[in-house]
Structure formats: C-alpha cells, structure tokens
Amino acid sequence: MEIGTLNQRITILEHRTVIDEIGNHITKWEETFSLWAKVTVKTASETTDAGVTKEVQKLEFLVRQSPASLNINSTNFRILFRNSIYNVTGITPLYDHNNYMKIEGENIPKAGTPESFKVLFKELQALGLDTRVYDANGEEVELKQDLDDGTGIQPIDDKAFTTVNDFDEGSEGFGIENAEEAGEEAGADAADSFADLFANALDDDSDDGADA
C-alpha cells in the first residue's frame, strides 16, 4: 500500500478526568495525538429528531499501526476530522497489510434549534416582546424557521414598539381625540342625563300626589 494515500490529517481525542482550578474533578475530551489517514465515506444520510434535521455521516479511517493507534478503542476515544467529531464505532486490523488498521467512525451531529422553540420565539414576538437569542459568546443569533413558503423568523425591529403612529386629521374614518376633554364631556353628559331622570321622577311623584 502506498503511503501517499494517507493524505488526511486526523486528531485522536481521549476521554480523561482532570482537576480544574478549584479542585473539582471533571471529565473532558482532550487531544492526545494526530496521524495521517485515508478517509472514505461509507454512508451519508439525514435524520429528523424533534423537528431538527441532522446529517449522519459514517467514515472509514485507514491509518498506520503504531503503539499509540493500537490503544484506540470505542469507549475512551473519538476522532476529530475537519472540525467534526466522530465516535469510534469499530476497529479492524488489516491482516493482508499488518502495518495498517481501519477505524470506523460516525459523526456526532451538532445540536440544532428545535422547531418548537422557534414557534415559541415567534409567538413571543407576536406579543410585542423584544425577544432575542444569544450564543455563548454573547453574540445575537438569528433564528431561521424552515417553512413551506420559505419565510423565517427575522430580527425584531427596534422601533416597532417604541414609535406611535398618529393618524392625520384628514384621514377618513380616523381622528385625534383629547382623552381628558372626552372624559369631561362624557361626565357632563352623564350628569345631565341623571338630572333629567331625577326631575322626571319628581314630576311623576307630584302628579300622583295631586291625583290623590
């Protein structure tokens, strides 16, 4: 087998327990070593889980055997290749080429945004709430919602709920009304109506007394 076929650089990650700066034991994936490999795509497909579409890709890594690579197993090791992380699903030594071995890996899909959250986000915007989503770096995230019509959730307008749109005096069917004056007029009309009603009641009582 020609060494030139091993033309892709991969990094091996190992699951380790380390002690942080305050003395807590935490587990993390650390880069241990890198090596050249021949990478072959075995299968590629898409799955949908909770409204999120994820790409599932299975690769085969052909590497040279070494004391370090012979220690790779499916429990404590992963493969980093082109900014994607792959779980080790199988290891097969090549008996016809004793210096090589095949490592099968399946990518870990990156976490997406559930469609239910996008719907909730849109409903909050419909209520007039200035709702925003930020990533771990404090940068605002623009959510997209894949719909049949191709529309998406767009960032809310900063002035959408701070600007009052007054109608012109000449607009048909609309007018500007002073709330205090309208309240005073309504109160005066109610007082006049009550006075008229009271006067009518007194007149009726007077008529009844005269008849008696």
Q: Give the pLDDT of residue 149.
A: 39
pLDDT in tens, 103-132: 999 998 776 667 777 788 888 888 888 888
Q: Give the pLDDT of residue 152.
A: 45
pLDDT average, residue stretch 152-176? 48
Claim: this prediction has a pTM higher than 0.75: no
Output 68 or 204, whichever has higher pLDDT: 68
Tokens for 48, please give them.
């949908």
Is pLDDT above 70 for 91? yes
Q: Give the pLDDT of residue 90.
A: 94
Distance of CA 130 to the CA centre of its chain: 16
pLDDT in tens, 175-193: 545 555 555 565 566 556 6
Output 109 or 101, whichever has higher pLDDT: 101
User: CA-CA distance, 150 to 137, in Å (whole number)?
Assistant: 29
Please give the share of the chain, as a percent, with pLDDT higher than 90: 34
Q: Give the pLDDT of residue 193.
A: 63
Is pLDDT above 80 for 62? yes
Output 23 or 104, whichever has higher pLDDT: 104
In SS3 terms, the chain reads as CCHHHCCEEEEEEEEEEEECCCCCEEEEEEEEEEEEEEEEEEEEEEEEECCEEEEEEEEEEEEECCCCHHHCCCCCEEEEECCEEEEEEEEEECCCCCCEEEEEEEECCCCCCCHHHHHHHHHHHHCCCCCCEECCCCCEECCCCCCCCCCCCCCCCCCCCCCCCCCCCCCCCCCCCCHHHHHHHHHHHHHHHHHHHHHHHHHHHHHHHHHC
Please give the share of the chain, as a percent, with pLDDT higher than 70: 62
